Structure 1
Amino acid sequence: MEHKYASDCHSHSNCSPDGEHSPGAMAERARELGLYAYTLTDHCECNEYEGKYRERQAIAWAEMEKLSVPKGLVFLKGIELGQATQNPEGAREAVEKYPYDFVIGSLHNLRDKEDFYYMDCREKPREEIDGLLDTYWDELLEMIELGGFDSLGHLTYPLRYIQGEQGVIVDLERHYEKIDGVFKSLMEHKKALEVNSSSFFNGLGETMPGPGLLRRYYELGGRLLTFGSDSHRMEHLGRGIDRAMAEARAIGFTEFALYRQHEPVMLPLE
């Protein structure tokens, strides 16, 4: 890794349904890469909590507890909390059950809709796509108001699929007012914004959010950033982190947050 404090704070082991490798293998890979810190954040989808993820969460926590941390690596225990507003009681139980260091708040699907991962927007009218995105920003605001997380995950998640994989170009300028509202709410509630590097490697070709939106966040006064590769296998761990950090530095950010017991430890972007 090129950055002294390069840290990957978003990844999944085989404790997630879509993860491939064990927590131990992921941590060992983090050490091999020379990451300063590694936070494991397996999925917890609150809209499926009682029927599926409560048990998965218990297994993931037990695996992290018994992990033999490689020497020289800062290892932190996290979770990716999805759709908290769609099951607030389940979300509260999930984050209070175990003493996590870090919680990512994510929104993968709108209420009563399928995950954007499965949604084909190629034949949808532009007005319908813009309507879906408007609802997405609104639900993010609800999630920030609800709280219970430390950093907002992959802000432009829908674009990973709508634009990056399906080639449907979205005019984000139309959404700036609502996105600015999300940024302001994050700052008001002292929540961080994640810079997710996974989308460097699909058709989107930029972080989530991209440099343009990161600059808007910075100009509005936002300074709390976390970085994550969103890796689901060893080979992708740390991927794009150095580039994402360099881009943030070029915008004007001088430090980023690493969360320990839900408190941000600020480290230099160097």
Structure 2
Amino acid sequence: MYSLIDCHNHSIYSFDAVDTVEAMCLRAEELGLTAFALTDHSDLNGKNLTECIETVGQSVDKVEQFRSTHSLQCELLTGLELGEAVDYPKDAKVMVKLRSYDVIIGSYHNSPNGEDYYYIDVQKMSDMEIRTSLQGYFQKLIETVQNTELDVLAHITYPLRYVVGDQGRRIFLSDYEEQLHLLLTSIINRGIALEVNTSGLRQKIGEPLPNKTILQKYRELGGTMVSLGSDSHNTRDLAKGIKECTQLLSELGFTNITYFRQRQPVFVPIG
């Protein structure tokens, strides 16, 4: 019987989520989670710092208020998903210091032209254009790890949700082998946890982000710290895929799941 840990989730304080903080916390308890982190979006764009301060601040305050008034078996944790921080380092520092979070998740969603891959029609792009775009994306992830204060790096194959899963373009990860090697070694050297984002299991791509091949490479390089997140934006998807990905990590030789409490790693044995 695995401990269920889900540390990447969103509430109505994220622009693309639909359920309240209270509903998410109660669902985490109902599902029997050991630990649950609410990590609402702070996707920086150079113009929205005030909005990020307001929404993330409210999200964290709501979690803290809820856990002070409810006695649950599930450990409720505060956090944020800090997106595009490497592009806006001053704004990122403001968000990092805004609250005493349990966990800061770093992420990157954009192509080199600044557009989220969610919105890009890659059918209009040649194979070389896609390859160049993804090379730029992985370079941004490397810079994020090397220059941003974070505890977890999220969904490092995020673009593949859409390029491969939704739009059916074929990608060879071997084309990015050197960048992925540098990215994974940078994660290890910085003492950051690599997130296994389970959202792909319920999407067309049909695999976690990153996939088994990359997780195996991370393990071979000496990586041991893995975090789990369903990336749920509603109570329906909370914890989906967590059990399956915990099993996958066990099969690959990982012995612990890592989550963060007051920015310090907590290791939960698998099994």
TM-score between both structures, scaled by the size of structure 2: 0.96
RMSD: 1.2
Output the CA distance in 2 between the equivalents of 1:106 and 1:263. Answer: 19
The residue that corresponds to 2:212 in the other structure is 211
Q: Give the stretch that moved more between structures: 242-251 or 53-62.
A: 53-62
Q: Give me the identity figure in percent.
A: 36
Q: Give the stretch that moved more between structures: 47-56 or 247-256.
A: 47-56
The residue that corresponds to 2:104 in the other structure is 103
Output the CA distance in 1 between the equivalents of 2:70 and 2:81. Answer: 21
Contact 1:150 1:191 survives alignment (8 Å)? yes
Q: Report how many aligned residue pairs link the two structures.
A: 268
Output the CA distance in 2 between the equivalents of 1:69 and 1:269. Answer: 28
Matched to 1:72, the amino acid is: Q
The residue that corresponds to 2:114 in the other structure is 113
Residues 14-53 of structure 1 aligned to structure 2 (within 5 Å)? 14-47=12-45, 48-53=47-52
Question: Would the alpha carbon gap of residues 211 and 165 (structure 1) be closer, same or farther in structure 2, given more than 3 Å must change?
Answer: same
In structure 1, stretches of 5+ residues that fail to align are none
The residue that corresponds to 1:13 in the other structure is 11
Output the CA distance in 2 between the equivalents of 1:242 and 1:173. Answer: 28
- State the secondary structure of the residue aligned to 1:157: coil
1:109-150 Cα shifts (integer Å, max 9, x gaps): 145421011111122100000101100111111111112110
1:57 Cα deviation after fit: 1.8
1:61 Cα deviation after fit: 2.2
Output the CA distance in 1 between the equivalents of 2:38 and 2:165. Answer: 25
Matched to 1:191, the amino acid is: I
Output the CA distance in 2 between the equivalents of 1:56 and 1:26. Answer: 16
User: Does 2:183 match 1:185?
Assistant: no
- State the secondary structure of the residue aligned to 2:258: strand
Matched to 1:62, the amino acid is: D
1:176-212 Cα shifts (integer Å, max 9, x gaps): 1110110000111111100000011111110000001
In structure 2, stretches of 5+ residues that fail to align are none
Residues 144-163 of structure 1 aligned to structure 2 (within 5 Å)? 144-163=145-164
- State the secondary structure of the residue aligned to 2:166: coil
TM-score between both structures, scaled by the size of structure 1: 0.96
The residue that corresponds to 1:57 in the other structure is 56
- State the secondary structure of the residue aligned to 1:234: coil
1:1-45 Cα shifts (integer Å, max 9, x gaps): x51x21000000001111111111001001111111100000001
